[in-house]
Amino acid sequence: MEIVVLDGYTLNPGDLDWAPLYTFGLPQIYDRTAPDQIWRAREAEAVFTNKTPLDADALETLPKLKYIGVLATGYDVVDVEAARRKGITVTNVPGYGAESVAQMTFAHILNISNNVAGHAADVDAGGWSQTEDYCYWLTPQVELKDKILGIIGFGEIGRAVARLARAFGMQVLIVTRTPPDPLPDDIRVVDSDELLRKADVVTLHCPLTETTRSLINEETIGLMKDSAILVNCSRGQLIDEGALAGALENGRIKAACLDVLSREPVRGDNPLIGIKNCYITPHIAWATREARTRLLAIAADNLRSFLDGKPQNTVS
């Protein structure tokens, strides 16, 4: 079977083994593929992509294609409707990184609460050696116990975040279309307005849809506490970045912690770059070695199931 991986570098920059894909033949693996290089897959029956777009025009240039494996949970890089019309099966990889994303969510929260890196850097710069006291702090030290965490979206990642929050003794409010049954007694389902008004930390774990696009905007930020922290490890387009930049500059919320932006890689003219109390990481919440290993294994299993006539994790 002719298999092409269009952009394998992000998943595997060299620390993983592509062996799961070699069970199907000899795949052609490219680190990156520009839109005008889709011809690389013109003989392929199966293609794997992470962020290389496969729109309707691209699919027309791939006459032998029967299967697209998206090496991610989000699959908006593929024109799924066009694939469906051409009889191409499209799969994604859900559930591989919930614990890793939850961990990064709390890495951001703890960065604001304790400012570990800032204090360590100050000690290295001589701050502690020059003080008359046995201790000092550059920013307030905040205990998470009894603080309110608001989770928008309660899928696998949202639930993993809630488990960590409960371990810290936080109160948990959630907004979700499909509350799990049973729901732990100390987690409450509320509407989005109540969550935004009450939460000390608001964290986004919902999919990007037309309903959720710019979910965080000038109006919804206006409902939040001035002391609130906003975390986004989901999709950058959930936030109106101009509105968030204005809110941070005007002290309308305390901080924003973002692992995703509306356009990636980030451009220099993004309004959030350089804003005080805006902490941006380069879309790495998913990228632990453990999570990427699971992703590759599930992606291979998706292809195996397709070839066995029992496709799984289909989105087309």
The reply to whether 264 belongs to the active site is: yes
Question: Of 60, 143, 264, 290, which is the active-site residue?
Answer: 264
In the prediction, which pLDDT does 228 show?
A: 98
CA distances from 16 to 11, 282, 287, 288, 289 (A): 8, 20, 12, 11, 8
On whether the CB atoms of residues 161 and 105 are closer than 8 A, the answer is yes
| Residue (of 248, 255, 204, 251) closest to 229 by Cα position | 255
In the prediction, which pLDDT does 154 show?
A: 96
Domains 3-96+289-307 and 98-280 belong to one CATH topology: yes
Positions in the chain whose pLDDT score sits under 50:
none
In the prediction, which pLDDT does 126 show?
A: 97
- Tens of pLDDT along 168-225? 999 999 999 988 888 988 899 999 999 999 999 999 999 999 999 999 999 999 999 9
3-class secondary-structure state, position 258:
strand
Instruction: Report the mean per-residue pLDDT for the chain.
Output: 97
In the prediction, which pLDDT does 217 show?
A: 98
DSSP secondary structure of 199-234: -SEEEE-----TTTTT-BSHHHHTTS-TT-EEEE-S
In the beta sheet, which residues pair with residue 231? Answer: 203, 257
**81 CB contacts (<8 Å, ≥6 apart)?**
none
Residue 235 tokens read as: 């999709």
The reply to whether 235 belongs to the active site is: yes
In the prediction, which pLDDT does 158 show?
A: 97
In the prediction, which pLDDT does 149 show?
A: 98
In the prediction, which pLDDT does 179 show?
A: 86
In the prediction, which pLDDT does 185 show?
A: 86
Please provide residue 162's backbone torsions phi and psi, each rounded to the nearest 5 degrees.
-60, -40
Extents of the domains making up the chain: 3-96+289-307, 98-280
> Over pLDDT 70: what percentage of the chain?
100
Superfamily for the 3-96+289-307 domain: NAD(P)-binding Rossmann-like Domain (3.40.50.720)
In the prediction, which pLDDT does 181 show?
A: 84
In the prediction, which pLDDT does 180 show?
A: 85
- Tens of pLDDT along 72-89? 998 989 999 999 999 999
User: What CATH number belongs to 98-280?
Assistant: 3.40.50.720
Question: Of 108, 159, 205, 235, which is the active-site residue?
Answer: 235
- Tens of pLDDT along 182-191? 898 889 999 9
